[in-house]
Amino acid sequence: MANLDLMRELAIENDTKIILLVLDGVGGLPMTPDGLTELEAAHTPHLDTLATRSICGMSTPIVPGVTPGSGPGHLSLFGYDPLEYEIGRGVLEALGIGFDLQREDLAARGNFCSLDSEGLITDRRAGRIPTEVGAALCEKLRMIELPGLVTFVEPVKEYRFVLVLRGEGLYDGLTETDPQQVGVPPLPVEPLHPEATATAEIVNQWMAEARKILADEHPANGCNLRGIAKDPGLPQMPEIYKLHCGAIATYPMYRGVAKLAGMDVLPTGDTIETEVETLKQHWDEYDFFFFHVKKTDSRGEDGDFDGKAKVIEHLDAVLPDILALEPDVIIVTGDHSTPALWKAHSWHELPVLLWSKYIRPDSVPQYGERPCMAGGLGHILHPDLIPLAMAHAGRLAKFGA
């Protein structure tokens, strides 16, 4: 696996264009032992034609057997070693609701909970209160003032919210308040290193104020904070790869992760068609496009095999419009598998298709899991993909004399 320092050393600029087309959760499984996967079952004439002109293979997002969350799955696609670079849960949650997180903000995922008269947790999710109840409670928590800081309390869904503290001198490296069990009180936040001591006190102060404000609410008379974290300060893709990077995604979390990696987030709509429009509009401005299709994953999580296949067919239908832009390199893959059979992210490898004028063609006749198992790329790792794209775009200098 190439490392970022090597990429930084070898990357050169030219006027080629690369598309990384990510079908979220595209990898699947047959519903019966002798069946087809979602991708194999989908009618995808354009992807299949492209596959016959491409080199294909299978790719592992993290390590064999390990299922990625959306954060590590995308970091890995963007070339980062996902075991080295991590995005904290609070940051991901803030990105997921489209919160405009700043570099020095401290973000936490909040959960409303129920406490008994002694302050012990009786329900870690406060009976899964309706989203509008959670939103009203967030409104109240916004009254908490911390000296020298701006605080944001944003509802997410049901009992979940995001707390963001903005100001100078905030450190991450804090323990969570959630004891992950009932019958015990929320834990105080502890610093994991000395610099974080003052920040821990500030967060504990916020928790004490929140406790008072929520005291008479029912069932959400308490709350917990998890994954208290800052923007991890990732090495930036434009600097590593000398690429102007644009991100096109319909969901906030993927826009957020792309932004953390240094991409410009391009405003777009809710559909694949609007994403293609956005791609066309900005075609001349960028060298690299991250193009994200969300609903393959959503249908997979629902266990909706046919629905997932339909999303793939939808993408296939617009593929000619994308190819008409004449990218120099296009990669089609996913961040992880989400088989309808499994109804969740899974550890299975992703089928990969890589096209450029300079690929070495293999004999894969179709973009699907089984055909790609026999592909010329063999079995690679997600962080290999951008180096391969760069190479096929003539954007990597020779290593050594």
Residues that bind its own copies (CB under 8 A): 1-2, 6, 10, 27, 29-30, 33, 37, 53, 58, 62-72, 82-83, 86-87, 89, 92-93, 227, 339, 341-342, 344-349, 358, 360-363, 369-370, 373-376, 378-380, 384, 387-391, 396-401
To its own copies, the closest distance from the beta carbon of 322 in angstroms equals 19
* Phi then psi dihedrals of residue 368, to 5 deg: -160, 165
To its own copies, the closest distance from the beta carbon of 248 in angstroms equals 22
To its own copies, the closest distance from the beta carbon of 71 in angstroms equals 5
Of 314 and 379, the one with the shorter C-beta distance to its own copies is 379
Of 17 and 345, the one with the shorter C-beta distance to its own copies is 345
Residue 198 neighbours by CB distance under 10 Å: 13
Q: Per DSSP, what are the bridge partners of residue 60? A: 381
Report residue 299 CA to chain centroid gap. 17
Residue indicated by tokens 């405003």: 267
Q: Which residues contact 79 (CB under 8 A, 6 or more apart)?
A: 2, 4, 7, 237, 240, 241, 383, 385, 386, 387
Residue indicated by tokens 């290193």: 193
To its own copies, the closest distance from the beta carbon of 357 in angstroms equals 8
To its own copies, the closest distance from the beta carbon of 53 in angstroms equals 6
Of 292 and 345, the one with the shorter C-beta distance to its own copies is 345
Of 110 and 219, the one with the shorter C-beta distance to its own copies is 110
Of 231 and 369, the one with the shorter C-beta distance to its own copies is 369
Of 266 and 359, the one with the shorter C-beta distance to its own copies is 359
Of 262 and 351, the one with the shorter C-beta distance to its own copies is 351
To its own copies, the closest distance from the beta carbon of 365 in angstroms equals 13
Of 62 and 203, the one with the shorter C-beta distance to its own copies is 62
219 preceded by a cis bond (ω within 30 of 0): yes
To its own copies, the closest distance from the beta carbon of 165 in angstroms equals 19
Rounded CA separation 120/310 (Å): 48
Rounded CA separation 372/297 (Å): 20
- The pairing of strands 18-23 and 329-333 is parallel
- Cβ density class 61-90: b for 16+ within 10 Å, e for less: bbeeeebbbbbbbbbbbbbbbbeebbbbbb
Cα(first)–Cα(last) distance of the chain, in Å?
21
Q: Which amino acid is at 230?
A: K
Of 58 and 261, the one with the shorter C-beta distance to its own copies is 58
Residue 128 gets which letter from DSSP? G
Inter-residue contact 141 to 153 (CB < 8 Å):
yes
Q: What is the DSSP string of 339-368?
A: -TTTTS-B---EEEEEEETT-------SSS
To its own copies, the closest distance from the beta carbon of 389 in angstroms equals 8
To its own copies, the closest distance from the beta carbon of 362 in angstroms equals 6
